[in-house]
């Protein structure tokens, strides 16, 4: 793979620290088009290992679109085109030779609305390991399922009804099931697209706690419309506006001393 030696030599309008010491994902000059419409304009940012970074910004600013670029979920949309470079461990994920299957196994995703398969709880979690061939026996699979459910904090609640349908759980439980399903394939990075927007405050608190826990083992990129949530869980925060990455930096700094006017306006509630 070609490694761009000038990878850290970027001209960008973004304010703040886009680079990190131990980058897992490196994005440079990423543009995204839906047909003729440009949804993302020249975004460059690093995402490092085992960090929790949140993307914030007003709705329609492109934060979810950008998130979906990171595991090529945008491939499913015919009109969507991505330009620029996104490197995962120095491999360009939009290279022709890269297969999305192992890529997505490495970069898991949790969606806005809990979307368990209409199958049992067990089958939901076992689905990923099964299609990827991660277990060679029933015991191994059971073990993976149990561990993933434990990691997602759901085990105590569902261990007695692993065979009941996943759609029968409450919203918060469903979302934790989806997280368990994502971590069952041992990813390195988990993308979360507003994972709590469909949940009540108590369920949200549980998920946030879980995200904090998971941050020790995975890189987590979370899109959220709740600034409090971003402040509570993430180490770094990136502010998007109209398809551009306006400012990136440590969460504390962004929320206390934003350098950009737009960021400040958003955070203080003037743009929404």
Partner 1 sequence: MNNNKPKILTANEASMIVESSVIKRRKKDARLKTYGRIAIGLAVSFLIFLFVSIFSKGIPGFFQYYVTLDVYLDRDRLDPKGDLSPESLYNGDARSIVLESLYKVINPKGRKEKKAAKKIISTNADVRISKMVLDDPNILGKTIPITFAVDDDIDSFLRGYIKRETPSSERRINDTVIKFVDKLSAENKISYKFSDYILTGSASRSPEIAGIKGAFIGSLLTLAVCFIIAFPLGVATAVYLEEFAPKNRITEIIEVNINNLAAVPSVVFGILGLAIFIGVFGMPRSIPLLGGMVLALMTLPTIIISSRAAIRAVPPSIKDAAYGIGASKLQTIFHHVLPLAMPGMLTGTIIGMAQALGETAPLLMIGMVAFIVDIPGGVTDPGTVLPVQIFMWADFAERMFIQKTSSAIIVLLVFLIFMNAAAVILRKKLERRW
Partner 2 sequence: MNEYSLLIILLLISTLWFYFGNKTALSLKKKQLKLNSLPHYYGIYVALYSFIPALFSYLLILVFDGILFSNLIIEFVPKEILNSPDFNKIIVLAQIDNAVRGIYFGEQPDWVTIASNQMIEWNYHSLILNFFCSISLALGIGYLGFKNINEEFRSRNSVEKIIISLLGLSSIIAILTTIGIVFSVIFESLRFFAIIPASEFLFGLIWNPQFEGAERAGSGQEGLATYGSVPLFVGTFLISLIALCVSVPIGLFSAVYLSEYANKKERSIFKPLLEILAGIPTVVYGFFAALTVAPLMRNGGSLIGLDVASESALAAGFVMGIMIIPFISSLSDDVINAVPQSLRDAGYGLGSTKNEVITNVIIPAALPGIIASIILAVSRAIGETMIVVMAAGLAANLSFNPLDAVTTVTAQIVTILVGDQEFESAKTLSAFALALTLIVITLILNFYALHVVKKYREQYE
Residues near partner 1 (CB under 8 A) are 99, 101-102, 105-106, 131-135, 137, 139-140, 143-144, 147, 185-188
Residue 115 in contact with partner 2, rule: CB under 8 A: yes
Q: Closer to partner 1 at the Cβ: 67 or 144?
A: 144
Rounded to 5°, the CA angle 234-48-84 comes to 110
Segment lying near partner 2 (by CB under 8 A), choices 47-55, 69-77, 88-96, 229-237: 69-77
* Residues 131-170, mask of contacts with partner 2 (x by CB under 8 A): xx--------------------------------------
Residues 151-158: contacts with CB under 8 Å, at least 24 apart = 151/180, 151/183, 151/213, 151/214, 152/176, 152/177, 152/179, 152/180, 152/183, 152/210, 153/206, 153/209, 153/210, 153/213, 154/180, 158/121
Residue 182 in contact with partner 2, rule: CB under 8 A: yes
Structure tokens at 30: 């990423």
Segment lying near partner 2 (by CB under 8 A), choices 7-15, 73-81, 138-146, 210-218: 73-81
Q: Closer to partner 2 at the Cβ: 15 or 100?
A: 100
144 is in the binding site of which of partner 2, partner 1, none (Cβ under 5 to 8 A by kind)?
A: partner 1
Rounded-to-10 torsion of CA 99, 238, 225, 68: -10
Binding-site ranges for partner 2 (CB under 8 A): 71, 73, 76, 78, 100-106, 108-111, 113, 115-119, 127-128, 131-132, 178, 181-182, 185
């Amino acid at each position: 793979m070609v490694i761009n030696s000038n990878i850290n030599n970027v001209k960008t309008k973004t304010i703040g620290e886009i680079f990190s010491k131990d980058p897992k994902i490196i994005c440079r000059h990423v543009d995204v088009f839906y047909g003729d419409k440009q949804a993302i304009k020249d975004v460059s940012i690093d995402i490092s290992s085992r960090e929790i970074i949140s993307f914030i910004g007003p709705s329609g600013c492109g934060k979810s679109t950008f998130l979906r670029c990171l595991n090529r979920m945008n491939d499913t949309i015919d009109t969507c085109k991505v330009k620029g470079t996104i490197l995962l461990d120095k491999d360009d994920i939009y290279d022709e030779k890269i297969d999305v299957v192992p890529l997505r196994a490495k970069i898991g995703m949790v969606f806005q609305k809990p979307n368990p398969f209409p199958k049992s709880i067990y089958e939901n979690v076992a689905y990923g390991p099964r299609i990827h061939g991660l277990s060679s026996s029933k015991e191994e699979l059971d073990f993976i399922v149990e561990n993933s459910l434990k990691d997602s904090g759901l085990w105590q609640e569902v261990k007695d009804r692993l065979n009941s349908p996943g759609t029968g759980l409450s919203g918060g439980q469903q979302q934790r099931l989806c997280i368990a399903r994502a971590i069952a394939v041992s990813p390195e990075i988990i993308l979360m697209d507003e994972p709590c927007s469909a949940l009540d405050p108590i369920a949200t608190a549980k998920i946030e706690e879980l995200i904090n826990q998971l941050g020790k083992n995975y890189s987590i990129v979370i899109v959220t419309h709740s600034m409090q949530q971003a402040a509570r869980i993430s180490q770094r925060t990136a502010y998007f506006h109209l398809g551009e990455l306006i400012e990136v930096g440590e969460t504390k700094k962004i929320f206390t001393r934003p350098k950009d006017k737009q960021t400040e306006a958003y955070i203080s509630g003037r743009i929404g």
